[in-house]
Amino acid sequence: MEKIIGIDKIRPQLGKYLREVEKNEDVVIISSRSKPRGVLISYSSYEELKKLSEKAKQMEVKSILDEMRKKAEKVGLTEEDVLKEVKEVRSCE
């Protein structure tokens, strides 16, 4: 469940809201001057979000690499050619 709570209200009861998000996996949106400024979530939810973010990045990189491989294949460039070029560039450093 999602709640929106003003910073002035949450400040004196932060412990209570921390227990709520830990227990119920709730989300508390912290607002200031009627604008969302932050989010309070459980640590397990935070860890899950970090893992999902990392997985999304890995999938994006894989997609880019797959596309590059397709383009290279169309022009007759092999993976060995690419590795050879990489090795040559690295040896120049």
Question: Tens of pLDDT along 8-61?
Answer: 999 999 999 999 999 988 899 999 999 999 999 999 999 999 999 999 999 999
Q: What is the pLDDT of residue 93?
A: 65
Q: What is the side-by-side strand order in the sheet with 2-6?
A: 2-6, 27-32, 35-40
For 11-20, 58-67, 84-93, which range has the lowest pLDDT when averaged over its residues? 84-93
pLDDT at 55: 96
How many CB atoms neighbour CB 69 within 10 A?
Answer: 13
User: Which amino acid, residue 66?
Assistant: D
Do 40 and 15 contact (CB within 8 A), yes or no? Answer: no
Whether residue 88 has pLDDT greater than 70: yes
CATH architecture of 2-41: 3-Layer(aba) Sandwich (3.40)
**What residue ranges in the chain does DSSP mark as E strands?**
2-6, 27-32, 35-40
